[in-house]
Structure 1
Amino acid sequence: MNKVLGQVDKKGGRLYPWLIRGFQKALNDFDLHDMELQGYPYTWERGHGTDRWVEIRLDRALVSTSWSDIFKDAMLVDLKCSTSNHCPILLEPKTVMNVTRNRKLKFENAWLREPVCRQIVQDSWNRHQYASLYEKTSTCLEDVSARGHEFTENFKQRISHWRKVINSTKGSRNVEAVKRFQE
C-alpha cells in the first residue's frame, strides 16, 4: 500500500488530514490494520539535504485480523536502498507451527483374528528377522499402523451383520451360524 495513515507517518512538508481520514475509515470498514515496520520509519523521501526535505512512510502492509492470527510472528522490514527515493520493504510471513502429537497405535488383540492383520505382522516380523526385539516391535507397529485401515474399516458393517445373524437365530439352534460367528 502506498498511502499515509497519520501525521506521524510524515516528517516535513504540509499537512493533509482530509486524505488521512478517508483512508483510515476505509481501513476500519475492511478490518485492516497496518503492520509495524521494523527499522527506519520512513520509506520515501524528497529534497534530501535541503530545507524542503520531506520523509514519509508511504509503503506499508495492511493485514486483517484473521491473517495476523495465522502469521503471528510475521515481520515487515525496511531494506536500505541508495538508488531510489523509496526504500523497499520486505514482508516475512512466519506461521506459528501447530504441533500435533502423533497418536500412538494401541494394538488390539482382536486384530489377530483378522487374516490381513496377521499377515502384516508375520511379514513385518520375518522381514526384520535379525533386528532386535525393540526394532522388530517398532517396525511391526509402523506397518500395522500404515495398513490398519485394511482390517478395521469394515468393523461396523461386520458387527451389524453378525448382530442380525444372532438375532435371527435366537431361540433356534442354528449351529452353522454360531460357528461362522465364532470364526
Structure 2
Amino acid sequence: MNNVLNEEDKKGGRPYPIWLIRCFQSVLDDCDLNDMELQGYRYTWERGHGKDQWIEVKLDRALASSSFLQVFIEAKLSNLEVSTSDHSPLLLKPVSIPMMTTGRRFKFENAWLRDPMCGEIVKDVWSSNSGKTLKEKIVICSELLMKWGKEITGSFRTRINECKRIMKSVKAKRDAKFDQIISRGVQEVD
C-alpha cells in the first residue's frame, strides 16, 4: 500500500502528511479492514541503513475483515526481519476455531473438481440456504460433499493401497530381457 496508519509507523526522515494518514484510515474503516498486529520488529521497510538519513517505515501489513478475524481468532502475523530486499517478509499463520464438532474431519479432495456434480452441490447449498450463516452453509456443504464423495469416488485410501500392492508385485517381477540389458550394460562399463 506504501502508506502508514499513524506517525509511529515511520522513523526518520520528514513527517508523513497527516491528511494521507487520515484518508488511509478512512478507506480501511469504509472497507471494514483491520490492521493485524505485527509481532516482532515494528518496521518492514528501510532505506539508508546505518547512515544519517536512515528511514524505517511499516509499509507492509496484513489487512483483515472483521469476518476473517472472527474465524481466525488466533491468527498471528510475524515480521521475519531477515531479507535481501529493503522489505521484510511477513508470515501470516491463520489459526481458525474448529467449525465442526463431529468426530470426523472434512477433507476436500481436489479430484472432485473434475466432476461437475461437485460444483452443483456447492451451488445448491448456497442458493437453497439463503437464511443461514456462512458457517452453517459450510457445515451443510461439507457434510453433503463428504457423503457424495464417498459414494462417487469410494475410499481413496483403499484405492491407493491397491495401487501400491500392484506396483510392489510388478516391481518384484523383473523381466528376463530387462535383466539381460542391465547385465550387458554392466559388462560394458567394466
Q: TM-score range by the shorter chain?
A: 0.5 to 0.7
User: Whole-Å Cα distance in 1 between the matches of residues 84 and 92 of structure 2?
Assistant: 21
Cα deviation code 1:34-89 (max 9, x no counterpart): 00001000000011111111100000011111110000010111112241111010
Q: CA deviation at 1:3?
A: 2.2
Match of 1:22 in 2: 23
Q: CA deviation at 1:22?
A: 0.7
> Given that residues 44 and 81 in structure 2 are in contact (C-alpha distance below 8 angstroms), is that contact kept between their aligned partners in structure 1?
no
Match of 2:172 in 1: none
Residue 43 (structure 2) pairs with residue 42 (structure 1): yes
Q: CA deviation at 1:92?
A: 1.0
Structure 1, gaps ≥5 residues long: 103-145, 147-183
Larger Rg: 1
User: Whole-Å Cα distance in 1 between the matches of residues 90 and 23 of structure 2?
Assistant: 24
Match of 2:3 in 1: 3
Structure 2, gaps ≥5 residues long: 104-146, 148-190
Q: CA RMSD in A?
A: 1.7
User: Whole-Å Cα distance in 2 between the matches of residues 2 and 95 of structure 1?
Assistant: 29
Q: Alignment identity in percent?
A: 56
What TM-score do you get using the length of structure 2 for normalisation? 0.51
> Given that residues 83 and 89 in structure 2 are in contact (C-alpha distance below 8 angstroms), is that contact kept between their aligned partners in structure 1?
no
Match of 2:77 in 1: 76
Match of 2:63 in 1: 62
Consecutive aligned runs of 4 or more in structure 1 exceeding 4 Å deviation: none
> Given that residues 12 and 55 in structure 2 are in contact (C-alpha distance below 8 angstroms), is that contact kept between their aligned partners in structure 1?
yes
User: Whole-Å Cα distance in 2 between the matches of residues 41 and 61 of structure 1?
Assistant: 13
Match of 1:156 in 2: none
What TM-score do you get using the length of structure 1 for normalisation? 0.53
Task: Please list, as runs of the form range in 1=range in 2, the aligned pairs for 1:123-138 lying within 5 A after superposition.
Answer: none
> Given that residues 2 and 60 in structure 1 are in contact (C-alpha distance below 8 angstroms), is that contact kept between their aligned partners in structure 2?
no
